[in-house]
Structure 1
């Protein structure tokens, strides 16, 4: 039988959500040890907090959290007595911590310098990543765990297979391919986030070409270009990657459980001063 540490590591490596349950405090004459832990997945339980009806109730609560996708850590106090089938008095306080819930399905188009810096960062987050490029030799030999490498001669075709509410990041080696990917992503318009690497000038050019193709302005405005957190400065691939990853985290923390057009625009996640600046920039474009 796994102890809780090994079980937690194994479940997280496999991307299987679980809840870590910890005895935080013992009040009164109770037979349990503060600090005891167990891990509860949808189908298994690892280690123990002392057994009995309290452990059974903790398993129920943990599995309800998993079924609902609840991400909030919370404390729960259990009075020990007839209600829990205990013969003694006192109480036990349990901490429930959700672990490993997938927050975002991410598609990264492009295995260039920034893509190679970004994907390992995304793989270390509670995300599942599709990494797509037509050039197999651009991918590193070792692909991070949780990342699916897709070599496709027609990367645009891969958009049809993305689940609704995906996070789409376009950073290929070819501007025309970037445009075709952008058009296909905006045509679906069911993404939680769409970022296009490039400058403000690139955005203006793309907006013009997309309007020529009949795209509504409100749909085009959902595109993040330039993407990333503006406060993270620098031109090195890893600096750009950190900026983009930060924006992804901000978005999924605000929007987890939402999909497509119901997701808040990234502009609403910015401080008020940044929103005003963004609005002025959009008006000037």
Structure 2
């Protein structure tokens, strides 16, 4: 969730909104520092700080603060075990703030920065309100009381192919921290609407797309044409992407491997290919099931720090995606 965009939109639509932030964590807690909820004046909300009694209590406080109008920020120091009966048993400090139209000008730079990824702000209290300055503009400010990190580090994904599985994947990746470039060479291949984190592109030069791709990209190949699959996959294996996945069966993989060797690709790069795609143990072939399995695999790659180190692909599931 783009927190500042959401906050600005709700202020524009409803006149005010509250922001709940996990400010500090000691011991075990349901969410990490920086987790957020944005709350509307009618009590509806977006985001989570982990659910359970902690979230319910903080939402009640935020709603009460909104009813009182824009005012001073509040930090709630909450023990999870003895106070709330939550088994994680740690301790958290939760920052709760209220905003209205007077804050939109100050929020705008945060909205703009959020659109470009991760950024830091320096924070201080002034008459009970939290003042946030972009770190790049302020530097080492002696008045800073704490720093916050905002925005999402989105992992780039290239999906080649807008068939049934490609469409299911684009939808499955929509709420997750990925930035998707979705490619197909056919006219009218894409649906009329795509998720906000997806760019649908009429593909002119598939090998050129691979050549220009961010080296951190995760590559998924599932076009309507096996020779095209071959060309794209060979180009992708020619670079050191952390993940290259090809839709297909063990038989398709064996045929492609023979051609890859003829093209001079190294055995190490050929072995790195994930085909069949998806996590082991899921054998259903419905597009939505394949997409869920593949997305779980991409999340594993992301969690393993594959964007900063070499990725050793998981053992593929058995023949679940043969076109």
TM-score strictly above 0.5: yes
* Structure with more helix by fraction: 1
- In the TM superposition, residue 155 of structure 1 has moved relative to its aligned partner by 2.3
Quote the RMSD (CA, aligned, Å).
3.9
Give secondary structure in 2 for the equivalent of 1:224: coil
Q: Is the 8 A contact 1:37 1:49 kept in 2?
A: no
**2:277 is equivalent to residue 227 of structure 1:** yes
TM-score, with normalisation over the residues of structure 1? 0.65
Q: 2-side partners of 1:200 and 1:177: how far apart? A: 18
- In the TM superposition, residue 152 of structure 1 has moved relative to its aligned partner by 1.9
Q: Is the 8 A contact 1:21 1:95 kept in 2?
A: no
Give secondary structure in 1 for the equivalent of 2:173: helix
**Relative contact order (alpha carbons < 8 A, sep ≥ 6): 1 or 2 greater?**
1
Cα distance, 1:164–1:85 mapped onto 2, change above 3 Å: closer
**2:126 is equivalent to residue 129 of structure 1:** no
Q: 2-side partners of 1:190 and 1:228: how far apart? A: 20
Give secondary structure in 2 for the equivalent of 1:190: coil
Matched pairs, number: 221
Q: Which runs of no fewer than 5 residues in structure 2 stay unpaired?
A: 10-18, 26-72, 77-93, 98-106, 137-141, 319-323
Give CA deviations for 1:128-176 in whole Å, capped at 9, x if unaligned.
1100000131200001102111102332221122111211000001111
Give secondary structure in 1 for the equivalent of 2:204: coil
Cα distance, 1:9–1:44 mapped onto 2, change above 3 Å: farther
**2:160 is equivalent to residue 109 of structure 1:** yes
Give secondary structure in 2 for the equivalent of 1:138: coil
Q: Is the 8 A contact 1:22 1:95 kept in 2?
A: no
Aligned ranges for residues 32-111 of structure 1 at < 5 Å?
Answer: 32-34=74-76, 35-37=94-96, 42=119, 50-51=125-126, 100-111=151-162
- In the TM superposition, residue 9 of structure 1 has moved relative to its aligned partner by 2.5
Match of 2:201 in 1: 150
Q: Is the 8 A contact 1:20 1:99 kept in 2?
A: no
TM-score, with normalisation over the residues of structure 2? 0.58
Match of 1:217 in 2: 267
Match of 2:229 in 1: 178
Q: 2-side partners of 1:85 and 1:207: how far apart? A: 57
Q: Which runs of no fewer than 5 residues in structure 1 stay unpaired?
A: 13-18, 26-30, 65-82, 87-93, 268-273, 279-285
Match of 1:247 in 2: 297
Pairing partner for 2:190 from 112, 129, 139:
139
Q: Is the 8 A contact 2:216 2:242 kept in 1?
A: yes
Q: 2-side partners of 1:209 and 1:173: how far apart? A: 19
Cα distance, 1:24–1:186 mapped onto 2, change above 3 Å: closer
Give CA deviations for 1:179-232 in whole Å, capped at 9, x if unaligned.
000111111x22121100000001111111111111111111111001111223
Give secondary structure in 2 for the equivalent of 1:148: strand
Q: Is the 8 A contact 1:105 1:129 kept in 2?
A: yes
Give CA deviations for 1:224-282 in whole Å, capped at 9, x if unaligned.
00111122331100000111111000001112551xxx322123xxxxxx69x99xxxx
Match of 1:202 in 2: 252
Give CA deviations for 1:37-86 in whole Å, capped at 9, x if unaligned.
369763778xx985479957xx68x969xxxxxxxxxxxxxxxxxx9899
Match of 2:312 in 1: 265
